Structure 1
Amino acid sequence: MVPNWLLQRSMLTPERIALSFESESWTFKEVNDKALILAKKLTENGVKQQQSRVAIYASSNPEIIWMMYACMYLQCEMVLLNLRLTEKELAYQIEDAQVDFLLVEDALVGKLPVTEVPVFRFNAINASSERDFPLVSEWNDDQTMTIMYTSGTTGFPKGVRQTVGNHVSSATSSVYNMGLVVGDCWLCTMPLFHISGFSMLAKSLLHGVEIKLFPKFNVKEIVNELVAGTVTRMSVVSVTLERILSELEARNAKVSPKFLTMLAGGGPVPIDYLKRAIQLNLKVAQTYGMTETSSQTATLSSVDALRKLGSAGKALFFNQIRIDGAEKAFDQGEILIRGSHVTPGYIGRFADKPSQVNGWLHSGDIGYLDDEGYLYVVDRRSDLIISGGENIYPAEIENVLISHEAVHEAGVCGVDDDRWGQVPNAFVVLKKEVNVQELLGYCREQLAKYKVPHKIHIVNELPRNGSNKLLRRKLNDLLIKE
C-alpha cells in the first residue's frame, strides 16, 4: 500500500509550487483542490471509482494535468492517447483498450474517429455539477494507473499497463540516483501522454518538486531558462538536445551552474552531442528506459560522464540488467531487465502475452555491459540490418554522419537488395550544402566497407513519433516520395 499521492503531498507541502505554465502557477494545495472538484464532476458524469477505464486525449497544458489527477482520485485506469496518431490508429487503441469514456480537450474533438464510446469534452465536464465519492487515502501497489501504447515497431501497438508500484519504483530509483535539492524544478517539454512526460508528474507529487510546463518544444524559450538557471532538470531526446546545443552555440552562451541534470533518452545519443554539451557546461546524463519500465532503468551519473562517454550508465537501485547470451564483458546481445518498475503485462489484443520470461523483460534492444557493469545500448534489434550475413547497426552509421559539420540529423535503415539481402541507406537533414559524394567519402574513412551507405538521400525532415524519437521503420516511406 502507498499513500494517495495527491492527499499526502498537499498535506506535506501545501504552499510549495507544484506547477507553472506561462504566467500562472499553482501550489500543491491548489492542485489538489482542483483535482478533487473535477473528480466529483466526473463522478456526476458516470465515471465510476475503481471501475472505469478512461482515455484522455489532450495537449500539454494544465487542463490535462487536472484531468489526470482527478482520475487518480477516482483510481481510474487512464489510457493516454498520442496526439500524433492518425484517426485509424486512434480507433484501434480506443477499441483495443475497451475504454468506458473518452475525455477530450475541446479543440481536439474533430480529430477523433467515429466511436460509440461516450465522449466528454473538458469544458462540459468543468461546467457540470458535482457528486461526492468516498475518498481513498491509500492505493494498492498493483493497481494499474496508466496505460500507454508502444510505438508499434512491428505489427499492432501493445497497450502497456503501468501500476502505482511501477511509477513509485521508477521515481524512487531516479531520486536515489540524482538526489533532491531545495528549489528543484523540472522543465517539461515532453508530451504528457508519453512516459517521459508522465514520469515528471509522478516525480512532482512523490518528491514535492515544481514542474515548469511548456506546451511544445520552443528552443529559444528553453535556452533562456537554462541560461538563467530558473530550472534544474529536463528530459530530452537526441534531436531536441542537438537543437539546444546549436542555440547555445549560436548565442555563445553557457548553461547556468544552477541547472543540474539533462536526462537524454529515447535511443543512443551521438557522441558528438555529448562532447559539445561538455563545452557548454550542460550536464547530460544519458539514460535508458522504455514504456514497459515506467521510464528510467539505467542512468549515467554526471561523475562518469567523461570517463564513460556514450554509456547509459548502471542499473538504478531497484533494477537489474543482464545481456542475453553474454558470457563475458563486452559481449553484445538483447538487453534483459528485471525490477519493480517493469510492467506486469498488457491489455487488449496482447492481454495474454507475458511481459516477462522467467522474471526478465526482453527489451528488444541490443547492447552490452563493459567490465565495470556500465550499459551501452547499440541499437534496436528490430532495426538491425543484416547484409551478406553481417550485422549492421543503424546508430553506428548515424553517429558518423551526424559528426560531419554539414549534417544536422541522420537516419539509417535497411533496403532490400538482391545480392546482399539488405543494404544500408541513409537519410540526412543538412545544416548547409554538401555533396553526397563527400558524405560517402567521409563514411568510408570511418566505417567498414559493408557499413557504408549504398545511398544517401537528402531530406527536409525525418519521421519521428510524439516524443521526437526517430522512427526508422518509416524511413523507407521517404523513398516512395522521391
Structure 2
Amino acid sequence: MELNANWLARLAEYHPDRPAVLWRGHWVSYGELYQRARRAAASLAGLGIQKGDRVGVLSLNHLGYLELYFAAPLLGFVPTLLNHRLSEAELRGLLEYTRPRALFYGPDFADLARQLDPGAWPLEALQTLSPAPLSPYQAAPDDPALILFTGGTTGLPKGALIPYRQLLVNAFQTCLSWGLQKDDAYIVSTPMFHAALNALATPLLYLGGRVIIQEKFDPAEYLHWVSEHQVSLLFLVPTMFQMLALHPDFATANLQSVRWAISGGAPCPAPVREAFRAKLVRFKQGYGLTECGVNCFTLELDEAEQFPESVGRPMPHLWARLVDASGQENPHRGELWLSGPVVMLGYFHRPTDTAEALIEHEGRIWLRTGDLAERDEQGRYFIVGRAKEMFISGGENVYPIEIERALYDHPAVLECAVVGVPDARWGEVGLAAIVLKSPLSEEELRAYLKTRLAGYKVPKHFLFTSELPKSGPGKILKSALAARFKGEHA
C-alpha cells in the first residue's frame, strides 16, 4: 500500500493562499506552511540530520512543531516531542534514552535546553540555519513519523513509535467519521508534545481547514478566540472544559459558531456538559490512545447526546475486541484490544514493553489498551475504567470511574479522583481525593454517595485538597495519588 506522507505539498499546490495556521496574530497560508517545512528540512540537512535521526523539541505550543512535523517526510528524521513539564533530571533521562541528534526549544526553555544540550537551537532557527540540498526521499507507511512519550507517572516514559500510516489513516477516517468540513476551525490548546497534532490538527489541515495555535491554555483568550475566529470545533480535556465553564467570561461568551465539542483523555463530568449544552453547544465523548492514533471511536451527535457516557463504535479502519481476565473474548465486558493500521510500531528500544502491549492473535496485531470497556447490544462501547485502577473490596470489583461520575454529579465537587488503598479488613477500599467548589463535609458527601452507590463502592477515606496532580495533557495522575496514600492508609 502506498500513501503520500508529503501530502502538504499537494494542498500547497491546490490552494496556496488559503489560511492554514494562525500563529501569533498572523495567518500562515498552506503555501507558506509548506515552504517553511521545506526550509526547516533544509536547515536540518545542513546540520547533518539524516533518515532515522531523532530531533528533539522542548517547547510550549509553537509553529515549529508543525514545521518539523511536515519537514520529517522530506528528510526522514523522527521528531521526538518532550514534555516541557518534566524536571531537568527526567528530561535528561529521555534524551539519554532517545539520543536526538539535535534539540530545538521554545523561548521559555532556552536555559533548560542549553543545560541539557549546549548545542540546542531555538525553534526559530529552523528558518535561518545554513541549508543543505534535500535528496529525493519518500517516506513509507511503516517508517517512523514521530516519537510520542506515554506513561511516565512512575519510571521513565516509553517512546511510542508512530508510523506515517497512523497519521494518515487517522486523518482521513476522522474527517469522514466525525464529519469535518474544510470551513472548520479549531484551537490547539492541549499540548502539542502529546497527541494534539493527531487529534484534530492533522485531520483539519489534511482537509484544508484552519488551525489556531494557542501557546498556553488561557480560558479568557480561548473564549474570545472562539468568537473572533468563528471556531467550529472544540477539543479539550475535561479539566480545560471545566475551566472554561467556571470562567467569568463564559456566561457572555459567544459560542454560536461551535458545531460540536469533544472531550478527550477522560470522561467529561455531566455538570460540565450541561453548562455547554445550556449555551447550545453539542457534546460528545472521545476515546483514543497515543499508541493507537488517536481517534478510535465515533458516534453521531444525536446518539452521543442520548448516550453521553458512550465513546461510540470503532472507526471504519479499526477492529475492537473485549478480553476477560482468563484471556477469552467476552462480547459484553473486558479489557479493550484494538487492531488496525493506526496501531503504533512499538516502543522505541523497549522490546519487553512492546511485547506486553502488542499481541498477535488470529493473524492480527492487537494493542492491549489496559482499559476496561463494556459493549451494549447496539455495538456502543463504554469505558468503565483502567484495568490497573480496579480494586477489590471485600471480594467485590470496584471501578473508580463509576464513583467519580457520582461525585461529579454533586454541585460542590469541582474535581475528583478515586484510587484503591490497602485496608486490614476489606483488603482494599476507596480513597477519594476531591477539590471543592463550595464547602462540603465528609459526612454530607458520604450520605450523598450512599443514595447513588452500593455500600462497598462508597470510599472509606476522603481527602479534600486544593488541587490534584496532573500530567502534561491535563489528565489527573491517579498513580501519583495512589503512591502517596497507600502507605499512609495501609
1:242 partnered with 2:238: no
Instruction: Give the counterpart of 1:433 among 439, 445, 449.
Output: 439
* Aligned match of 1:52: 53
Alignment partners' CA distance in 1, 2:483 and 2:366: 34
Counterpart check, 1:83 vs 2:93 = no
1:448 and 2:454 correspond: yes
Q: Which residue is equivalent to 1:107?
A: 108
Q: Which 5+ residue runs of structure 2 have no aligned equivalent?
A: none
Name the CA distance, whole Å, in 2 between partners of 1:111 and 1:338.
39
CA-to-partner distance for each residue in 1:238-283, whole Å, 9 max, x for gaps? Answer: 1112222334895165631x31232211022233433443332112
* Pairs within 5 Å for 1:176-215: 176-215=176-215
Match of 1:37 in 2: 39
CA shift in 2, pair 1:478/1:459, >3 Å: farther
Given the alignment of the two structures, is residue 390 of structure 1 paired with residue 384 of structure 2, yes or no?
no
CA gap 1:266/1:401 in 2 versus in 1, 3 angstroms: same
Find the aligned partners of 1:349 and 1:327 in 2 and give their Cα distance: 27
Label 1:45 to 1:141 Cα distance change in 2 as closer, same or farther (>3 A).
Answer: same
Which secondary structure state, in structure 1, belongs to the residue aligned with residue 145 of structure 2?
A: strand
* Residues in 1 aligned to 2:329 and 2:59: alpha-carbon distance in whole angstroms: 47
In the alignment, the residues of structure 1 paired with residue 81 and residue 274 of structure 2 have an alpha-carbon distance, to the nearest angstrom, of: 35
1:133-176: CA deviation from partner (whole Å, max 9, x where unpaired): 1244x431111100111123565422111111111111111111
Residue 241 of structure 1 aligns with an amino acid whose one-letter code is F
- Please say if 1:406 is aligned against 2:406: no
Q: Residue in 2 aligned with 1:65?
A: 66
Letter in 1 for 2:36: K
Question: 1:84-126, CA deviations, whole angstroms, 9 ceiling, x for partnerless residues?
Answer: 1122221222222232222223531333496579533335554
Cα deviation for residue 228 of structure 1 reads: 5.7
Q: Structure 1 residues 153, 129: CA separation in 2 closer, same or farther (over 3 Å shift)? A: closer
Deviation at 1:302, TM superposition (A): 0.7
* Identity score, percent: 27
1:420 is aligned to 2:455: no
Once the two structures are superposed, residues 432-481 of structure 1 have per-residue CA deviations (whole angstroms, 9 ceiling, x without a partner) of 12222111111111111111111211111111111101110111466599
How far residue 221 of structure 1 moved from its aligned partner, in angstroms, is: 2.2
Query: Is 2:37–2:68's contact at 8 Å kept on the other side of the alignment?
Result: yes
Match of 2:93 in 1: 92
Counterpart Cα distance in 2 of 1:415 and 1:461 = 20
Task: Answer whether contact 1:187 1:232 (CA < 8 A) is retained.
Answer: no
Q: Mean alpha-carbon deviation: is it higher for 5-14 or for 263-272?
A: 263-272
C-alpha separation in 2, matches of 1:390 and 1:117 = 55
C-alpha change, 1:476 and 1:166, in structure 2 (3 Å) is: same
Aligned length: 478
The verdict on how the C-alpha distance between 1:207 and 1:367 changes in structure 2, with shifts beyond 3 A counting, is: same
Residues 1:199 and 1:5: Cα distance change in structure 2 (over 3 Å):
farther
Letter in 1 for 2:104: L
Compute the displacement of 1:67 (Å): 3.4
1:22 is displaced (CA, Å) by 3.6
> What is the match of residue 21 of structure 1?
23
Q: What is the alpha-carbon distance in structure 2 between the residues aligned to residue 481 and residue 65 of structure 1? A: 45
Q: Which moved more, 1:417-426 or 1:374-383?
A: 417-426
Mean CA deviation greater in 274-283 or 364-373: 274-283
Task: Label 1:13 to 1:135 Cα distance change in 2 as closer, same or farther (>3 A).
Answer: farther
Please give the alpha-carbon distance, in whole angstroms, between the structure 1 residues aligned to 2:379 and 2:249. 34
**Distance change >3 Å, CA 441–CA 182, structure 1 → 2:** same
Go from structure 1 to structure 2 and tell me whether the alpha carbon gap of 1:26 and 1:351 turns closer, same or farther (over 3 Å shift).
Answer: farther
> Is 1:381 the counterpart of 2:375 in the alignment?
no
The residue type paired with residue 339 of structure 1 is G
Q: Is the 8 A contact 1:312 1:374 kept in 2?
A: yes
Q: 1:226 to 1:455 in 2, by over 3 A?
A: same
Give distance in 2, aligned partners of 1:229 and 1:124: 29
Extract unaligned runs of 5+ from structure 1: none
Equivalent in the alignment of 1:120: 121
Larger deviation, residues 191-200 vs 110-119:
110-119
Q: 1:7 — aligned with what?
A: 9
TM-score by length of 1: 0.92
**Distance 1:99-1:328 versus aligned 2 partners, 3 A rule:** closer
- Runs (4 or more) in structure 1 with deviation over 6 Å come to none
Which residue identity does 2:300 align to in structure 1? S
- Return the alpha-carbon distance in structure 2 between the equivalents of residues 199 and 72 of structure 1: 19
Is the 1:322–1:335 Cα contact (8 Å) retained in structure 2? yes
1:351–1:43 distance in 2 versus 1, CA, 3 Å: farther
Q: Aligned letter for 1:260?
A: R
Q: Is the 8 A contact 2:226 2:255 kept in 1?
A: yes
Alpha-carbon distance, 1:233 to partner: 1.2
Residue-by-residue CA offset, 1:183-206 (whole Å, 9 max, x unaligned): 211111011111134443422432
